Chain A
């Protein structure tokens, strides 16, 4: 290894070096991407395959949703909406864009309360998740390397078993005659069962439970990289553990907190399974409303408008998340 290295550093003799080495010395190592760009015809094909797939199956569907959200609802039509473009008899084209579905979303009390409730549930559960996940991630990041791997695996493991079944497990725990109430009554802490099923509390628990790994992992990835000598320096200068945590660890971990919180908040706003299994049927979240509008009322334009409005609400958080994700990938790359 070392012998080859020195041979490269000092090319032997008269300066007759191969053209590649000359390039090497002059410009540093050629990038692979440079090679591919110049030399390889297959490059375009490799880019095109995943690109086309995502355009056809991810981008185009959104454009269809956008289009239908402006259409007029026709209860007995197949499909149940009026076409937006119509050819009139004199050869002109009539374009009919309706904003009715959108204004309905803003004025109908059922919708307004569903929006507010979804945001409230997502905010509260993200906060609870953060409060539980931060110390967990901290403890994992500060434990010995062998123990660290075991603990990380323990955190990720439930994620590999079915999400649906893990949410279902909480029904058995939270019911009036469920495990938690039985244990509390047996201990004599309560006399009457506490109603927990079909409440907001059950939805919070379900969301925190399902998304906890998504909060822990970005936090761990951040906390693990911290330079511990900073904390030692703070200690030497007389800062207590609380103070050095507040002044050093917490500010340094902000990117992890933001990434983890967005990974919980964004899907939580549009959560469907958890509120429909654990939540109350009186207070719907926005995803449940979308599903009912589509599957029960067959009002496609309104369901599409709900989807677009949800996207508009989430596009800001999504872009922030993407920004952090890209930065993370760039940092990982030398």
Chain B
């Protein structure tokens, strides 16, 4: 007989409530008619007026579009760089400078964001003055934001890819090399399909982190380039804003939908794998 009411289970329930109550309260109050966020207006709620207001807010819509573009670009670039770094660290054995590379890829994971932001901004300022001497001008904006985001998100992709590569040994790759495949071909035909799940989750994580970042972005962004978190941050600092609740609800919806879709896909892939294993066993 297994006991369910143990101290750890109780704390698990408390912890999960702690994690989800704030999210549910945002969802609930996004339908509240009253501007005073915490006073529930029984007469006129639920209402969708904050959603309507959200979609009339040009500044927020433009910021969201900028954020989507930055996040998509930086996640894609971070995936390429992070996969290369993860591959090098997991598969290339010892080489000169490996320890430095490992340090450079783990450091951004724990680096306080203000330091990353400040140092990136100072890099761009120095680059501006150096490049101006050659007649090249670039302002601070979408390019600098994207470069900064690539740098701190690629660290996450590297760790995911590296630990995924560490979970299976290189016998398949070796076999292909023994059979005469060139390393590039081995990578694209064997390694890449094997680490594809890690690359996909790395992309999603990089997208989320970029989409969500406010501190680094505030440093490296220029006038006129406000990402969604920057707009939200400055409006929230002035006080509670019900249309931010509506925005949060929409984002929770997107994440929930993503989870359902990926669960369905994973289930289907698992079934397919099972069927193939059975067929293969029957064939033998």
CB distance from B260 to the nearest CB of A (A): 11
Select which of B6, B88, B111, B248 is within 8 A of A161 by beta carbon. Answer: B248
Chain B residues whose CB sits within 8 angstroms of the CB of A164 once the complex forms? 212, 214, 229, 232-233, 236
Chain B residues whose CB sits within 8 angstroms of the CB of A276 once the complex forms? 237
Task: Answer whether residue B118 sits at the interface, using C-beta atoms and an 8 A cutoff.
Answer: yes
Q: Which 3 residue pairs are nearest across A and B when measured between Cβ atoms?
A: A270-B112, A33-B93, A61-B119
In chain B between 14 and 31, which residues have their CB closer than 8 angstroms to a CB of chain A? 14-16, 18-23, 25-26, 29
Given known pairs A42-B183, A61-B123, the reply for A287 and B112 (CB within 8 Å) is yes
Given known pairs A32-B174, A277-B237, the reply for A59 and B104 (CB within 8 Å) is yes
Taking chain A's interface residues, is the majority helix, strand, or loop, or is none over half, making it mixed? helix
CA distance A175 to B240 in the complex (A): 10
Task: Answer whether residue A284 sits at the interface, using C-beta atoms and an 8 A cutoff.
Answer: no
- Residues 80-99 of B, flagged 1 when their CB comes within 8 A of A and 0 if not, give 01101101101111010100
Task: Answer whether residue A250 sits at the interface, using C-beta atoms and an 8 A cutoff.
Answer: no
Task: Answer whether residue B76 sits at the interface, using C-beta atoms and an 8 A cutoff.
Answer: no
Contact A270 B97 (CB under 8 A): no
Chain A residues whose CB sits within 8 angstroms of the CB of B188 once the complex forms? none
Select which of B10, B182, B251 is within 8 A of A165 by beta carbon. Answer: B251
Q: A interface, how many residues as a size bin?
A: 35 or more
Contact B248 A162 (CB under 8 A): yes
Task: Answer whether residue A272 sits at the interface, using C-beta atoms and an 8 A cutoff.
Answer: yes
Select which of A1, A61, A139, A172 is within 8 A of B9 by beta carbon. Answer: A139
Contact B11 A139 (CB under 8 A): yes
Task: Answer whether residue A266 sits at the interface, using C-beta atoms and an 8 A cutoff.
Answer: yes
CA distance A92 to B7 in the complex (A): 73
Task: Answer whether residue B41 sits at the interface, using C-beta atoms and an 8 A cutoff.
Answer: no
CB distance from B16 to the nearest CB of A (A): 6
Task: Answer whether residue A209 sits at the interface, using C-beta atoms and an 8 A cutoff.
Answer: yes
Task: Answer whether residue A177 sits at the interface, using C-beta atoms and an 8 A cutoff.
Answer: yes
Chain A residues whose CB sits within 8 angstroms of the CB of B21 once the complex forms? 173
